[in-house]
A and B are shown apart, each in its own frame.
Chain A
């Protein structure tokens, strides 16, 4: 089972491998528009007080997304 953004702990750095097409088409489109694309480096900055959503740094800016979406983002861990 490939690792996803969902599995990463705070401070981890990873490279995006694939965005699964599981969710609605628009979620994927939205993620692409926000810069969540293959090969991009992503850093887990923090989780919200209740553990969800997660805040990441991608392409130099801060993005918040829900853990349910994070499950669809497959990554390759660079720094745990």
Chain B
């Protein structure tokens, strides 16, 4: 089967072209050995099927980042039949720099001159035919986000291949002096069959002159002992170029590539418009302004908070039986229906009923009822990402992040993890650290991203705030939001100084033009993220809930003990159930931990929930619910967990606050641990994240509880 690869700059519209080419047939995986996403799909033209690989977006093909290495490996070693280079027509000169490097490799190439409409609107007149002549390959104009030209692009590619039209680009020229050295070294390299079989000789010559570490190592390995005869040729060529131009060879080559790009640009592009401010510039004078910028950002966060909660929970806008409900209300209603469906089982099969109702419906239902909130949250964040605003957030906050040893771009990972308020998830957050080029920045961000208030911590906050701080809901949420950032930044500062040391890494980032988000891609992205949350609830969370339920149910106390207890004193059914829970494995474990956790004010029931929360934070609320409904002392079982805790003499606002702080900080959930292990390449970092955060959480919770108690906040 024919295979195409799509290459291009970030923000050049590669992904929308890929989406239009492949439709729904996409598969996402990782490139072997590295954490770079590999997207593959199938394009159809008539009855032909073409495999299409979307390479990571890069500005260059040096060995600077994982993405660049991956993209170049794919083209050089997996040899796709054709490379489609998506270039942003409104930013042609810089985009052609990558094109030049693709031409160097010499793989069959077709150019997609994308965003042709924007370029035109800006007053650029691009002579596509001339560009095609200069580069020696077809150039097809496209408008990727509207799908225009994509069919023609595919047809051009396939027809050219069928008709045996050469798609090999013209050789790149670097100016007479450099060309001479490159050609000569290329010929020498052609004499080393081991190298020439794997790499194009002229490309290899350029890379060796640039002293590209990865290619140098590979050539050394391929040549073996012969490398000693090749090395002097490389050194001589590099030296000759450096001496002639009085700068190092790598810089000269980069400059010459830009020279080639600039030359092509000048020949093919005419500017027919007038130099005026573009919409993006106008927006940026406000959004990036010294005073208005931070205010605007705060406004966005507040609006996000407000809208997400209103739409998903507070406004009852869905017409339903018995009056309108909110989406969250609808989910709660649904699981209440399940609960009453199985109510009949209680008398006939008490154990089965307990498992289904206490274990499954309470646990999974609690998690699922937050799906609307998560969906709306991701909808807003995906749309925001599409506009290009996140890059401005990174720009505004980079200086602050720098102080704590983080990067402006770490913001994205933190936001996805829940940093814009609540209702993110650390799993995509940790994945989002892939955009950070430096391993150290990446690690620090990975270690602190789980401290953000993710969607799973929300139910715990919501329940405890409803119980103990009902009049200060927004203030408490803002407080918890502030605390999570304070702790995350402090943790980053400490980690950067004592654990992951090293000099600060550069922050060089494009600020792309604003785009109106494309609904199709925003919805797709939102749904992918929400589906991940639902799938987690239906698989991992469900399994853990069953295990937790079993640990809380078994072993049952011997009949005689219960009977004795019942005989000795007047006991309510509730007290018997409490005794049963205390007798279970989980109950015993919780009690064993109590002497230590009492320092932070946690009783044994809370301990059970917190231990369950190591697996997933969603489990905390479910398990606490189960623990207090199974071990329910109060005969009125219909009370909500909030009301139950409020009326429990053992609970105080102070204790609730200490618990919220503990839940915020302690141990990333199992899914996050798994993803940290994979992304950092070692389980040690995951273990470290778990250990340091749990220790910090406990110390802080104990401090809060003890200080609060000293100050008399015990009532």
Does B64 belong to the interface (CB within 8 Å)? yes
Chain B contacts with A in 502-518, Cβ cutoff 8 A: 503-504, 506-513
- With CB as the reference atom, state the residue of chain A lying closest to B438: A26
Chain A contacts with B in 28-80, Cβ cutoff 8 A? 28-35, 37-38, 40, 45-53, 55, 59-66, 68-69
Whether, in the assembled complex, A23 has its beta carbon less than 8 Å from a beta carbon of chain B, the answer is: yes
Q: Which of A47, A55, A60 contacts B94 (CB 8 A)?
A: A60
The 7 closest A-B pairs by CB, nearest first: A33-B60, A50-B399, A32-B254, A62-B511, A27-B506, A52-B399, A65-B508
Partner-B contacts on A (CB < 8 A): 19, 21, 23-24, 26-35, 37-38, 40, 45-53, 55, 59-66, 68-69
Using known A-B contacts A33-B64, A63-B510, determine if residue A48 contacts B255 with beta carbons closer than 8 Å.
no
Q: Is B468 an interface residue (CB 8 A)?
A: no
Please name 9 further chain A to chain B contacts, defined as beta carbons within 8 Å, in addition to the given A64-B398, A64-B508, sorted by A numbering. Answer: A32-B250, A32-B255, A37-B258, A40-B258, A46-B284, A64-B395, A64-B511, A68-B504, A69-B508
Cβ-defined partner of B251 (8 Å) among A28, A30, A35, A49: A28
Given contacts A19-B251, A35-B97, contact A49 B64 (CB under 8 A): no
* Complex Cα spacing A31 to B394, Å: 18
Q: How far is the CB of B478 from chain A (nearest CB, A)?
A: 21
Q: How many A-B residue pairs have CB under 8 A?
A: 119
- Point out the residues of chain B lying under 8 angstroms from A35, CB to CB: 93-94, 97, 258
Instruction: Using A26-B64, A53-B408 as known contacts, say yes or no to A48 and B508 having CB atoms under 8 A apart.
Output: no
Per DSSP, chain A at the interface is mixed
For A39, give the chain B residue with the smallest CB separation: B255
Query: Which of A27, A52, A62 has the most chain B CB atoms closer than 10 A to its own CB?
Result: A62
- Chain A residues with CB below 8 A from B250, complex form: 29, 32
Contact A53-B398, Cβ < 8 Å, known A29-B250, A31-B508, A33-B62: yes
Whether the pair A49, B506 counts as a contact (CB closer than 8 A) is no
Does B500 belong to the interface (CB within 8 Å)?
Answer: no
The one of B251, B254, B511 that contacts A63, using a Cβ cutoff of 8 Å: B511
With A63-B508, A66-B402 in contact, is A29–B64 under 8 Å at CB? yes
Is there an interface contact between B94 and A30, defined as CB atoms closer than 8 Å? no
Say whether B511 contacts A23, CB under 8 Å. Answer: no
B288 within 8 A of A: yes
B293 touches A63 (CB 8 A): no
Are A60 and B399 in contact, CB atoms less than 8 angstroms apart?
A: no
Task: Report the bound CA distance from A65 to B285 in whole Å.
Answer: 18
Is A53's CB under 8 angstroms from B399's CB? yes
Q: How far, in angstroms, from A32 to B509 measured CA to CA in the complex?
A: 13
Question: Does B290 belong to the interface (CB within 8 Å)?
Answer: yes
CB pair A30 B255 closer than 8 Å? no
